[in-house]
Amino acid sequence: MVKQEPECELGTEELEQGLRPAAAVDFAKIAITAVALLLVFNSVALVDWTRQSRPGPVIAALGQPAERWHAAMERLGPAGLFERLHALARSFS
């Protein structure tokens, strides 16, 4: 005897109860903004990533621009701001 398969309507799962769905494209806007902020303030992470990744053509091509980008962010201020925030958090812990 075959049982009825569970319904897959939206909002039926416990975690989704009471939540309103949105358009997928909203996440694209959120991701673009968040990544831009990370690139501006945490530009050092990009440099660390190119230095720590396995060498290859992509990493080789990205290495120099990442260094230049980080240097620019340091000169303009946001990278230094994040460094100070990081140091503050370290002193607190």
Partner 1 sequence: MVFPTLNFLIFYLCIWPTSWLLLVARRHQLHKLAIIAGSYIFYAAWSTRFTLLLLASVCLNWTAGWLIVRSADPSRRKLVVGIGVALNLALLGYFKYWDFFIGNLDGLLRSVGLQGEMPYWEIVLPVGISFFTFQGISYIVDLYRGDLDRPRPFVDVMLFISFFPHLVAGPIVRASAFLPQLERPPSPNRVFVSLGICLIGWGVFKKAVVANWLSVDLVDPVFRTPLEYGGADILLAIYGYAIQIYCDFSAYSDIAIGIAALLGYRFQRNFNQPYRAQSLQDFWRRWHMSLSSWLRDYLYIPLGGSRKGKARTTVNLLATMVIGGLWHGAAWHYVLWGAMHGGGLALERATGLDRTAAPGRWRQTLRVVLVFHFVCLCWVFFRAKDMTAAGDMLGQLADWSATPQLVTPFLAGLVVLGLLMQATPANLLQWLDRAYHALSPWAVGVMGGLLLLMIEALGGDGSAPFIYFQF
Q: Which chain residues interact with partner 1 by CB under 8 A?
A: 1-3, 5-6, 8, 10, 13-38, 41-42, 45-46, 49, 53, 82, 85-86, 88-89, 92-93
Cα angle value 92/38/64 (rounded, 5°): 115
Closest-CA residue to 66 (of 85, 46, 90): 46
Q: Quote the least distance from Cβ 4 to partner 1, whole Å.
A: 8
Q: Return the number of the residue (34 or 76) whose C-beta is nearest partner 1.
A: 34
Q: Return the number of the residue (38 or 76) whose C-beta is nearest partner 1.
A: 38
The number of angstroms, rounded, from the C-alpha of 15 to the middle of its chain's C-alpha atoms is 24
